[in-house]
Structure 1
């Protein structure tokens, strides 16, 4: 099998998609979290500042999701078809929530009426929270496996998705994004809103630590296949240890009010948790709970070597451009939020 940099093409493409999903989780995670916290701000000015903190970056952050979806379709079309057909209803809800989140941000300040702005505030918070919970729900089901048969057809029903483990992962994702978003907002605000956010950040950190402990223990106890690779390669246990140290460092920096450093660590824990998920799955992408033989590995689902080579070249060209654009936007809109006539 052809290799590049010592890795076969399916494995390399698996890493590319994982990197894109991680980029989306880190970048869109904080503005989804900011949306979930939106109704905690009671004053009109505070809500406008919170919106304008993510205003210049939220749509650019979603580009990573589009690229990841396209990369999955190009690299592993069988997985793309299986996941989208299995999670058809969750993905449709996800799409509707994405639409309402976008129009909530854009429409909110178009009219001065209080009822109009409150309606879109509620829509913004609800859609951001729903997107996050659905992402966590899908992730939780992929971690423990889904009931697919030999033809890769889903044999469960809607209630199959709402199992205790997947729901726990959904709330863990929500707690992580809320913490990530609160830290970002506190870096972008000042005065009374800053003081309020310092309290919110502290509360969100406690919520996340609780969810992190519960989800970690549940994975170790109830999802044994996620730890198989770690048992075979003990050096990989450095990653769970790194995850624990990263969580502790988030809390330590929050207590010291070093919010930029805390934001870096909250970005790191998002990446580390997704890496742990990828290691637990590899070389599978979709695990069948009916029979391990029905699971879909990267080698079963990969496109032709020629397709993977061409798409890898496109990714090598396009990804640095997206990264450069992201850095440029964050640098341009650095510093505290200042409202003006052009603000949301």
Structure 2
């Protein structure tokens, strides 16, 4: 078995699962100031209350898997993005605290709403910027990070950060279309139109920027035979975007959320095409960064047991709390 390749797919799956499941509740936080104070905000919060903290399990699995399976990449990527990672974790902490305290401290609910929005926005922005920092390249000397404290801060990383914020806002708004009813649902649909336009515009800008960011990215997208696969990504993106706008206009409820997830999946497929087989682009491949085969095999046994359990209890939680959400929090 090619253990580094297997672990690369496990980590990619964990990252995608995190983006899918934590992205929409971060998106709700980003959009939160646009909701009417009172019933509309309460309903939005109630729609994610049963699942939001469990969604972050996948972030732990992705980060822990990177540390255990690819220690060299972990040792390079973290020092290159320390400020962003610290800001992301603080944002997630503020968001989690605000989520709980806005119910327990109604006298200061406006403050907790602001903290919920700020934490969500910071977490979403920094996640996109971490991706951008990785794609634009990390300066390495031997096996060590050789850049500065601020090397991650470039126009490209700001663009990827804004693209992630817009994408999460799209996921959040389409989730609310699915889960809410009445005026709140109509408001969410209007937000989804604007978020979809912003997401597609920023996705196109990031894609073009990435292709011309490095000659190897250009070759992977436009040289044979990879171009035969790469050409399908923008084509499928255009088809899904058309269906998304049609669904929003026609009043579809669940389909816009799944179509938004499909856009993220295509974005991740494009990311994989750009980076593979590198885990740190143009510097460290997944085989260079891999832990000893005995360690990866030992950990694979644990993941083979725990990952199905995580998938099962996550699916069960979403099934139990399926259906529409009212102001009182009933499903």
TM-score (norm 2): 0.94
Q: Give yes or no for the alignment of 1:300 onto 2:288.
A: yes
User: Who is 2:122 aligned against?
Assistant: 130
Deviation per CA, 1:276-298: give whole Å up to 9, x if none. 212211111113xxxx5xx1111
Deviation per CA, 1:157-192: give whole Å up to 9, x if none. 32x222111111111111111001000012111122
Structure 1's consecutive aligned runs of 4 or more residues displaced over 3 angstroms after TM superposition are none
Q: Give yes or no for the alignment of 1:336 onto 2:324.
A: yes
Range 174-183 or range 217-226, more displaced: 217-226
Structure-2 separation of matches of 1:176 and 1:223: 24
User: Who is 1:313 aligned against?
Assistant: 301
Contact in 2 for aligned 1:149/1:155 (Cα 8 Å) = no
| Counterpart among 171, 178, 187 of residue 196 in structure 1 | 187
User: Who is 1:140 aligned against?
Assistant: 132
Contact in 2 for aligned 1:33/1:181 (Cα 8 Å) = yes
Contact in 2 for aligned 1:136/1:171 (Cα 8 Å) = yes
Range 97-106 or range 204-213, more displaced: 204-213
Structure-2 separation of matches of 1:316 and 1:235: 34
| Counterpart among 27, 51, 54 of residue 57 in structure 1 | 51
Deviation per CA, 1:214-270: give whole Å up to 9, x if none. 112222233432243342423322234323322332222222222311111111221
User: Who is 1:224 aligned against?
Assistant: 215
Deviation per CA, 1:301-344: give whole Å up to 9, x if none. 1011111112122222211111111111111111111243x78x
Contact in 2 for aligned 1:141/1:161 (Cα 8 Å) = yes
| Counterpart among 269, 286, 310 of residue 263 in structure 2 | 269
Contact in 2 for aligned 1:226/1:277 (Cα 8 Å) = no
Change (3 A) 1:181 1:223: farther
Alignment of 1:210-289 (within 5 A): 210-230=201-221, 231-232=223-224, 233-237=226-230, 238-287=232-281
User: Who is 2:35 aligned against?
Assistant: 41
Q: Give yes or no for the alignment of 1:93 onto 2:84.
A: no
User: Who is 1:68 aligned against?
Assistant: 62
The offset of 1:44, in angstroms, is 1.3
The offset of 1:24, in angstroms, is 0.5
Structure-2 separation of matches of 1:234 and 1:213: 17
Q: Give yes or no for the alignment of 1:79 onto 2:73.
A: yes
Gaps of 5+ in 2: none
The size of the alignment, in residue pairs, is: 327
The offset of 1:141, in angstroms, is 1.3
User: Who is 2:176 aligned against?
Assistant: 185
TM-score (norm 1): 0.91
Structure-2 separation of matches of 1:139 and 1:81: 16
Contact in 1 for aligned 2:174/2:192 (Cα 8 Å) = yes
Structure-1 separation of matches of 2:93 and 2:76: 24
Structure-1 separation of matches of 2:37 and 2:94: 22
Structure-1 separation of matches of 2:212 and 2:284: 24
Structure-1 separation of matches of 2:202 and 2:229: 23
